[in-house]
């Protein structure tokens, strides 16, 4: 008999769109996410950050969306950053999804959570936005990449 436990599965999703307009694409994304039954209490906030360096003012702008995940095992947090792509961050959308999932072990929980993200979140996004590229990572995968980058300095 396999004992099933509840694990917390954290996933990071980076999405590059082929056509991106900060305001319009962010609103389209919010509308698509509101159609996802497992997401609740979604809200969007426009963020503006002004910095000054050597007498020049630089203004950065992005949108943040947050909400809750409503799944039988107990939902956790849902957060999205919508921004213009840059050479340092070559994506338009960054999502963090934290949810509980029932599985026999942690690796199985992460796989099931990835499948859930693909089916429940990414499928409607792909149908409504010009998705060019998607990368789904776990915290351990991002940590390994960060270690490699730190070692290359």
What phi and psi, each to the nearest 5 degrees, are found at residue 96? -120, 125
pLDDT at residue number 17: 98
Q: Alpha helices of 35-138 — where are they, by DSSP H?
A: 106-116, 123-128
Distance CA 119, CA 68 (A): 17
pLDDT tens across the length of the chain (153 residues): 666 899 998 999 999 999 999 999 999 999 999 999 999 999 999 999 888 878 888 888 999 999 999 888 877 789 999 999 999 999 999 999 999 999 999 899 999 999 999 999 999 999 999 999 999 998 776 555 444 445 555
Please count the other Cβ atoms lying within 10 Å of the Cβ belonging to residue 114.
Answer: 18
- pTM here? 0.84
Which pair of structure tokens corresponds to residue 10?
A: 């954290």
Distances, alpha carbon 124 to alpha carbons 16, 70, 82, 118, 149, in Å: 15, 17, 17, 9, 33
B/e letters for 78-102, b = 16+ CB within 10 Å, e = fewer, are: bebbbbeeeeeeebbbbbbbbbbbe
């Amino acid at each position: 008999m396999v004992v099933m436990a509840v694990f917390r599965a954290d996933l990071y999703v980076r999405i590059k769109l082929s056509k991106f307009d900060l305001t319009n694409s962010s609103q389209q994304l919010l509308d698509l996410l509101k159609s996802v039954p497992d997401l609740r209490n979604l809200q969007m906030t426009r963020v503006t950050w002004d910095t000054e360096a050597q007498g020049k003012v630089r203004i950065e702008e992005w949108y943040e969306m947050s909400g809750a995940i409503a799944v039988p095992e107990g939902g956790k947090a849902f957060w999205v950053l919508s921004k213009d792509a840059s050479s340092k961050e070559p994506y338009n959308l960054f999502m963090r999804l934290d949810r509980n999932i029932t599985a026999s072990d942690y690796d199985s929980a992460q796989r099931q959570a990835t499948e859930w993200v693909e089916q429940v979140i990414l499928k409607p996004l792909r149908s409504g936005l010009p998705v060019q590229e998607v990368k789904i990572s776990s915290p351990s995968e991002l940590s390994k990449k960060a270690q490699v980058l730190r070692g290359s300095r």
